[in-house]
Structure 1
Amino acid sequence: MPGGRLTHEDRRRIAEGLGEGLTPTEIAGRLGRPLSTVTREVARNGGPDGYQADRAHLATQERARRSRVAASPGPEAEAEAVHGLEEQFTAIMVGTGLSRMTARVLTCLYLTDSGSLSAAELVQRLRVSAASVSKAIGELERQELVRRERDPHRRRDRYVIDADAWFRGWMASARQNSALADFARTGARTLGATTPAGARLQDIGEFFERVGHAMLQAAEEWRREQAARP
C-alpha cells in the first residue's frame, strides 16, 4: 500500500534501483510509493552510495523497538518520574516558607497512598535522623498541616494527611493574619496614627484585616461546596 510501511522486499527493490542508477522519482514510481517515502528512507540509511537493504531493515526494526520502550517506561523510568515529582513538590513547599526538611516530610506524606506514616517510616524513607523528622513534624503540626493519630496495634504515633489538611492550615494562617492585624492596630493607637510609624502600622493592620477576612470567607465557601458534593 502506498501509505503503508516499507517491507524488506521494498527495501531490496530500492537498493536494486539505486544500483541501476535510477533516480528517487523512478524508484518511487516502480514501487508505487510517494517520493518522500523513498528519499527519507535512503537519506536515513546511508544515502544513495551507502544504502543496503538488509542493514536498513534491521535499523528500522531497532528504531521501532526503542520507540516502544520509550512509550512503555520500565520500573527505572517510573521511579525517576516519581523522584522528579517529589523534587518539584518539595521545591514548591520550600517556596511557601517551609524549611527543606519540613517540605520533604510533607511531600512524603502527600505522595504516599495511605497518607499516613510513622516517624520510623519517615526516617527510613527519607534516610534522615529521627531528630530531623521530629523537628519537621513539630513545624507541620504548628501549622496544622498534619495531624497525629495513635496506632493501637503498635502503640506509636502516626502522622496523617487528610482532606482537611489544607483547610486547617489555611485557617491557621488566617488566624495569624488576624492576630497581626490586631497587633498593628494596637501599635498604631499607641504610637499615634499621625506619626509616620503609627500610620505605617495602621496601613499594615488594615491590609491584614482585609486579607484575613478574605481567607476566612474563601475557606468557608470551599467547606460548603465540599459538604454539598454527593
Structure 2
Amino acid sequence: MSMENEEPPAGRFVERFAAELTEAGMQRMASRVFAALLASDSGSLTSAELSERLRISPAAVSGAVRYLNQVGMVSREREPGSRRDRYVLHNELWYETFTRRDQLLTRWETVLRDGAETLGTDTAAGARVAETADFFAFLQDEMHELLGRWREHRAATARERE
C-alpha cells in the first residue's frame, strides 16, 4: 500500500478542526485557512503556501483571508524585501477574539435594556427581553473573570516551563 496519497497528520488536524469551525458557523474556506495557519509552525503563510497546503485556488484563499481579516482573526503583513503578503495569526488570538465578543455583548445588552424599557418590564415581552439583557451582563462578568484567570494560568505555566 502506497503512503504517497496518505494525508499527513497536520492535514488531518486542519480538516478536522476546520470541520468543527464550519459546524459552529464559520465559512468553510475561512475555517480551513484559519486551521492551516494555526497548525503552521510560524503562525503565518503566504497565499501560495495556503493554496498548496489546502489544494485550493488563490481566489479561494483571498476570499477566506478577507473574511478572517474582517473578523480580526488574521492580519496581512508584507514579507521584508518582497512584494508577497503573509497572512498572520494575531498574538493572543483567542483572548482578542473573546474580548471583541465582550464588546458585542455590551452593545447587545444596551439595546436589550432599551428594548425592555420600551416594551415595559411589566409585560411578558419586556420581562423576557430584560432577562436576556441580564444574561448578557452575567456572561460578561463571568468572561472578565475567566479571562483574568486564563492570563494567570498562562503566566504560571510559562514560569513552570522555564
- Equivalent pair of 2:73/2:90 in contact (CA under 8 Å): no
Q: Confirm whether residue 172 of structure 1 aligns to residue 114 of structure 2.
A: no
Cα 1:125–1:83 change in 2 (3 A) is closer
> How much has 1:169 moved relative to structure 2?
1.1
Match of 1:226 in 2: 154
Name stretches of at least 5 consecutive residues in structure 1 with no aligned partner. 1-73
Name stretches of at least 5 consecutive residues in structure 2 with no aligned partner. none
Q: Distance in 1 between matches of 2:76 and 2:145?
A: 27
Match of 2:44 in 1: 116
Write the letter of the residue equivalent to 1:204: T
Q: Distance in 2 between matches of 1:93 and 1:224?
A: 27
- Equivalent pair of 2:10/2:39 in contact (CA under 8 Å): no
- Equivalent pair of 2:37/2:88 in contact (CA under 8 Å): yes
Q: Determine what percentage of the aligned residue pairs are the same residue.
A: 37
Scaled by the length of structure 1, what TM-score is found? Answer: 0.60
Scaled by the length of structure 2, what TM-score is found? Answer: 0.81
Write the letter of the residue equivalent to 1:151: E
Q: Distance in 2 between matches of 1:150 and 1:220?
A: 33
Match of 1:181 in 2: 109
Higher RCO, 1 or 2 (CA under 8 Å, sep at least 6)?
Answer: 2
Cα 1:155–1:223 change in 2 (3 A) is farther
Structure 1 or 2, whichever has the larger Rg, is 1
Q: Distance in 2 between matches of 1:84 and 1:137?
A: 21
> How much has 1:165 moved relative to structure 2?
1.1
Q: Distance in 1 between matches of 2:9 and 2:53?
A: 17
For residue 86 of structure 2, give the secondary structure of its aligned residue in structure 1: strand
Match of 2:70 in 1: 142
Cα 1:215–1:127 change in 2 (3 A) is same
Match of 1:200 in 2: 128
Cα 1:217–1:150 change in 2 (3 A) is farther
Cα 1:187–1:80 change in 2 (3 A) is same
Cα 1:78–1:123 change in 2 (3 A) is closer
